[in-house]
A and B are shown apart, each in its own frame.
Chain A
Amino acid sequence: MTEVSACFHCGDPCDADAIVFDEKNFCCNGCKIVFEIFSENDLSGYYDLQNFPGASPKELEGKYDFLDNSAIADKLLEFNDGGTQIITFYIPHIHCSSCIWVLENLNKLDRNIKASQVDFPKKTVRVTFNFEGISLKQLSLLLGKIGYAPYISLDDFQTEKIKKDRSIIYKLGIAGFAFGNVMFLSFPEYFEVNEFWLDQYKTTFRWLMFAFSLPVFFYSASGYFIAAIKGLRAKILNIDVPLALGILVLFVRSTVEIIFDIGSGFFDSLTGLVFFLLLGKYFQQKTYSFLSFERDYKSYFPIAVTRINKNGSEESLQVNEIKKGDRLLIRNDELIPVDSILLKGKARIDYSFVTGEIEPVEKESGEKIFAGGKQVSGSIEIDTLKPVSQSYLTQLWSNQVFDSDKENSFTSLTNTISKYFTISILSIAASATTYWLFVQPTLAMNVFTAILIIACPCALAMSAPFALGNMLRIFGKLKFYVKNDQAIERLAKADTLIFDKTGTITANKKSLVTYEGTTLNKGEKSLLKSTLRTSGHPLSRILYSHLNGSELVKLSNVEEVVGQGISAKFNEQQIKIGSATFVNAGNIQNNLQTAVHIRLNEDYKGSFLFKNEYREGLSELFKELAPEYQLAILSGDNNGEAASLKKILPLKTSLLFQQTPKEKLNYIRQLQQNGHRVVMVGDGLNDAGALKQSDVGIAISENVNVFSPACDAILDAGKFKELHNYIKVAKGAMTIIKISIAISFLYNVVGLYFAITGQLSPVVAAILMPLSSISVVLFTTFMTSLISRKLN
């Protein structure tokens, strides 16, 4: 029985030929080398903080050559002056405390690195170094050598650096600071005791409160005034209108009161109100800094490729400058950025990010290749047909759907209710004032302003942010990363669900493997497994892991013909594994199914058939969804799987095949024009248009560190079967918001009683408003956590 130990560096299982160094096992030479680098440079603490923190370093030949181009390097550097340069790298492998530790100790690896700081949520490291001692390319290569290769894409090169917007923190800080101080200063006058000293100093106290409230009114609350004016101009009564009105009336009445010595004003309620509102806004702003919901193809494309000039020399060329007719060299593991024709080399292209299909596509010389795929077997040379912006893939982004913002056309629940709220409050205020004008005119102004103050919809404005903000957090813990709270509202309203096939309802990693042919004995199986181990083809790897329990043997004469198969020899036995033609299988029956055939010596043994395995729980999920939702599968594939799909899915599911990205988009648009609210679930770049057009676009991801196209939510593939439960909880959150709004109305009724009867004193306002806000916050947070308890 072969002992399987875990690699000390990366934790992968080390097989028979584990490399032993310094009394530790390593699965490959790469891991051992990283360990050596760390121990020689006093960095062995890396392994103390976390078990198996490392990654096996990948092949880096030529990967960062474009950084030698000074124009590109200049654009990427954040700071460039004399002997100090600063750059921020995005490093997908950052995932634990060991990563933080080793990346902040980079200066031990090279003296020219002065300092480095990790931002863990964003998975970036900011390195300060000296250009003259270590170039940008050498720095990237160094990081790659220790398993932390930076990911640099066209997006980093093209997007302008966005200025960080910290205004919400400033506003919140000012409001909180003022709120605390004003509360203290307003205390003496709450109790209306006629003390001499109180009368002496109350002017000082009142004007101090006024001073503290000024920055709150003019700066912290400014956002609400601006939004209210915008809404009124567009003739919409959104929630900001009554809020702004309330704040304005509060300020004006309080100032008037202290100038004419009528009372102490409501500055405590003013600052408290603004503080709680901003707190809600801050709470609602949950972002996942290591994910991006805005990705397009630019995040995936490299900045530069290698062009082969007429005289045979190679040069680095920026991707946007590629012209028709350019001859490009694409190395192993590099992306093909343009539609082109294959000139030289054996092309095996992985389009999994575009279509979700993990099986590489093989092309011969002279055949057309589409942009967006990754070349996975050696280098090829291609002849450009169209520049980057005109390729079949990137053209999708010129569709008008990418110009509009689906959030602008959606009216949230809060804004719908606020319309009625504002109108009713204004009418109550008008009627109450008119009443008092006849009965006791001195009270009229008092009552009018009091109504507008106490009826302030702060609780209404806070129900949604806190409920949905909490839902965002809960969903995030369950690996359902939603972009913002509006997306949850739209999800709750959906009535149609559309799924892509490849990569969405089919699992990328697992493949159902069945064997047809003469059964293999133990020795034959171990020979098979040992031969498979030498190959990097995805089918070999799947088959290898399928054959567990077999021993490994030492082979001789191992030969892999790329794209065809492998042959090897062991003790006089010759084995051939691969395509039907490679093993001379004779008649080939099943062309639609992927198969790996086996020939041992002179006998053809049989073949392993690979079927796409559907995701766990797919059938149950569709059964659960069928009663309430309209369902459809839109696939870019051929209809080979139609029969098996019909067996596992409910009858009413529409199945459409051979859909181009544009056709998927139009299908959804058609549904929306018929009044449906559509959720699209997809995974590849070719679903980008459909995801953008739908009301809610959900991208399924097997590994959230790898990019997903622009969407409203990213769902981890393992949680796919929970989709219906998540939608149910989203609907529950909306119900909770409605209940909490009802509760806030109760407070309003109580407050209105005081206001209409002219009894609204500062202390009553100061009690009611925070009380209503806090109870709404507690209620929504508690209830949303409660309904999510059953989720896992």
Chain B
Amino acid sequence: MSVIYLLLTISVVIAVFFFVVFILSVKGGQFDDTYTPSVRMLFDDELVKEKDQVQKTTSKNKDE
């Protein structure tokens, strides 16, 4: 049963690690705005356009 010393140490270390991460993220301002990230994550990712596609659209605008 003395293995419990080892187990306690490991679990306390892990818990403290996550706690430190929490403190750092609060310091970094992550919890200042809790609303906007919920909207931001719904935006679609930008598709990287092919170079000729970009040129096509610009020349189309020029024609108008």
- The answer for the CA separation of A121 and B35 in the assembled complex, in Å, is 7
Q: B residues within 8 A CB of A164?
A: 29, 32
Contacts A/B (CB < 8 Å), 24 sampled: A39-B61, A40-B61, A42-B49, A49-B43, A119-B33, A120-B36, A121-B35, A122-B33, A166-B27, A166-B31, A169-B31, A170-B23, A170-B26, A173-B19, A173-B22, A173-B23, A177-B15, A177-B19, A177-B22, A181-B12, A197-B1, A201-B4, A204-B5, A208-B12
Q: Are A101 and B43 in contact (CB under 8 A)?
A: yes
Chain B nearest CB from A45 CB (Å) reads 7
- The answer for the CA separation of A278 and B43 in the assembled complex, in Å, is 35
Interface: B44 (CB within 8 A):
yes
Interface: B40 (CB within 8 A):
yes
Q: Are B35 and A166 in contact (CB under 8 A)?
A: no
Q: Are B32 and A118 in contact (CB under 8 A)?
A: no
- The answer for the CA separation of A208 and B9 in the assembled complex, in Å, is 10
Q: B residues within 8 A CB of A104?
A: 40
Question: Which residues of B from 10 to 54 have beta carbons under 8 Å from A?
Answer: 12, 15, 19, 22-23, 26-27, 29, 31-33, 35-36, 39-40, 42-44, 49
Q: Which of B19, B29, B42 contacts A97 (CB 8 A)?
A: B42
Chain B nearest CB from A216 CB (Å) reads 13
Other A-B pairs beyond A45-B44, A97-B42, A201-B4, 13, CB < 8 Å: A39-B61, A100-B39, A101-B43, A120-B33, A120-B35, A120-B39, A121-B33, A121-B35, A166-B27, A169-B26, A181-B15, A201-B1, A204-B5
Q: Are A119 and B23 in contact (CB under 8 A)?
A: no
Q: A residues within 8 A CB of B19?
A: 173-174, 177
- The answer for the CA separation of A166 and B62 in the assembled complex, in Å, is 53
Q: B residues within 8 A CB of A39?
A: 61
Q: Chain B residue with minimal CB distance to A289?
A: B33
Interface: A673 (CB within 8 A):
no
- The answer for the CA separation of A200 and B61 in the assembled complex, in Å, is 82
- The answer for the CA separation of A536 and B32 in the assembled complex, in Å, is 42
Q: Chain A residue with minimal CB distance to B38?
A: A120
Q: Are A119 and B31 in contact (CB under 8 A)?
A: no
Q: Are A166 and B26 in contact (CB under 8 A)?
A: yes
Chain A nearest CB from B13 CB (Å) reads 12
Q: B residues within 8 A CB of A173?
A: 19, 22-23, 26
Pairs A-B, 9 closest by C-beta atoms: A120-B36, A119-B33, A97-B39, A121-B35, A197-B1, A177-B19, A120-B35, A169-B26, A100-B39
Tell me the total A-B contact number using a CB cutoff of 8 A. Answer: 54
Q: A residues within 8 A CB of B43?
A: 49, 97, 101
Q: A residues within 8 A CB of B12?
A: 181, 208
Q: Chain B residue with minimal CB distance to A120?
A: B36
Q: Chain B residue with minimal CB distance to A174?
A: B19
Q: Interface size of B by Cβ–Cβ distance < 8 Å?
A: 24
Q: B residues within 8 A CB of A174?
A: 19
- The answer for the CA separation of A778 and B32 in the assembled complex, in Å, is 27
Q: A residues within 8 A CB of B26?
A: 166, 169-170, 173
A45-B44, A177-B15 as given contacts; A200 in contact with B39, CB under 8 Å: no
- The answer for the CA separation of A274 and B24 in the assembled complex, in Å, is 22
Question: Which residues of A from 465 to 479 have beta carbons under 8 Å from B?
Answer: none
Chain B nearest CB from A176 CB (Å) reads 10
Q: Chain A residue with minimal CB distance to B61?
A: A40
* Residue-wise interface mask of A (93-119) relative to B, using a CB-CB cutoff of 8 A (1 in contact, 0 not): 000010011001000000000000011
Q: Interface size of A by Cβ–Cβ distance < 8 Å?
A: 27
- The answer for the CA separation of A551 and B61 in the assembled complex, in Å, is 36
Q: Chain B residue with minimal CB distance to A39?
A: B61
- The answer for the CA separation of A555 and B49 in the assembled complex, in Å, is 49
Q: B residues within 8 A CB of A119?
A: 32-33, 36
Chain A nearest CB from B29 CB (Å) reads 8
- The answer for the CA separation of A101 and B42 in the assembled complex, in Å, is 10
- The answer for the CA separation of A201 and B3 in the assembled complex, in Å, is 11
Q: Are A100 and B44 in contact (CB under 8 A)?
A: no
Question: Which residues of A from 199 to 244 have beta carbons under 8 Å from B?
Answer: 200-201, 204, 208
Q: A residues within 8 A CB of B32?
A: 119, 164, 166
- The answer for the CA separation of A453 and B44 in the assembled complex, in Å, is 55
Chain A nearest CB from B12 CB (Å) reads 7
Q: A residues within 8 A CB of B39?
A: 97, 100, 120
Q: A residues within 8 A CB of B36?
A: 100, 118-121
- The answer for the CA separation of A15 and B63 in the assembled complex, in Å, is 29
Q: A residues within 8 A CB of B61?
A: 39-40
Chain B nearest CB from A103 CB (Å) reads 11
Q: A residues within 8 A CB of B49?
A: 42
- The answer for the CA separation of A202 and B26 in the assembled complex, in Å, is 35
- The answer for the CA separation of A80 and B55 in the assembled complex, in Å, is 37
Q: B residues within 8 A CB of A177?
A: 15, 19, 22
- The answer for the CA separation of A118 and B36 in the assembled complex, in Å, is 7
Chain B nearest CB from A667 CB (Å) reads 42
Q: B residues within 8 A CB of A204?
A: 4-5, 8
- The answer for the CA separation of A122 and B35 in the assembled complex, in Å, is 10
- The answer for the CA separation of A200 and B1 in the assembled complex, in Å, is 10
Q: Are B31 and A100 in contact (CB under 8 A)?
A: no
- The answer for the CA separation of A197 and B32 in the assembled complex, in Å, is 47
Q: Chain B residue with minimal CB distance to A124?
A: B33
Q: Chain B residue with minimal CB distance to A211?
A: B12
Q: B residues within 8 A CB of A40?
A: 61
- The answer for the CA separation of A275 and B27 in the assembled complex, in Å, is 20
Chain A nearest CB from B36 CB (Å) reads 4
Chain A nearest CB from B34 CB (Å) reads 8
Q: Are A208 and B8 in contact (CB under 8 A)?
A: yes
- The answer for the CA separation of A173 and B18 in the assembled complex, in Å, is 11
- The answer for the CA separation of A164 and B1 in the assembled complex, in Å, is 48
* Residue-wise interface mask of A (158-193) relative to B, using a CB-CB cutoff of 8 A (1 in contact, 0 not): 000000101001100110010001000000000000
* Residue-wise interface mask of A (14-42) relative to B, using a CB-CB cutoff of 8 A (1 in contact, 0 not): 00000000000000000000000001101
Chain B nearest CB from A215 CB (Å) reads 10
- The answer for the CA separation of A177 and B43 in the assembled complex, in Å, is 34
Q: B residues within 8 A CB of A170?
A: 23, 26
Q: B residues within 8 A CB of A45?
A: 44
- The answer for the CA separation of A704 and B61 in the assembled complex, in Å, is 40
Q: A residues within 8 A CB of B15?
A: 177, 181
Chain A nearest CB from B53 CB (Å) reads 11
Chain A nearest CB from B50 CB (Å) reads 13
- The answer for the CA separation of A100 and B39 in the assembled complex, in Å, is 8
- The answer for the CA separation of A100 and B40 in the assembled complex, in Å, is 8
- The answer for the CA separation of A166 and B29 in the assembled complex, in Å, is 9
Chain B nearest CB from A636 CB (Å) reads 39
Q: B residues within 8 A CB of A100?
A: 36, 39-40
Q: Chain A residue with minimal CB distance to B31?
A: A169
- The answer for the CA separation of A122 and B42 in the assembled complex, in Å, is 20
- The answer for the CA separation of A566 and B42 in the assembled complex, in Å, is 51
Chain B nearest CB from A735 CB (Å) reads 32
Q: A residues within 8 A CB of B44?
A: 45
Q: A residues within 8 A CB of B22?
A: 173, 177
Q: A residues within 8 A CB of B35?
A: 120-121
Q: A residues within 8 A CB of B27?
A: 166
- The answer for the CA separation of A39 and B36 in the assembled complex, in Å, is 25
- The answer for the CA separation of A97 and B4 in the assembled complex, in Å, is 52
Q: Chain B residue with minimal CB distance to A212?
A: B12
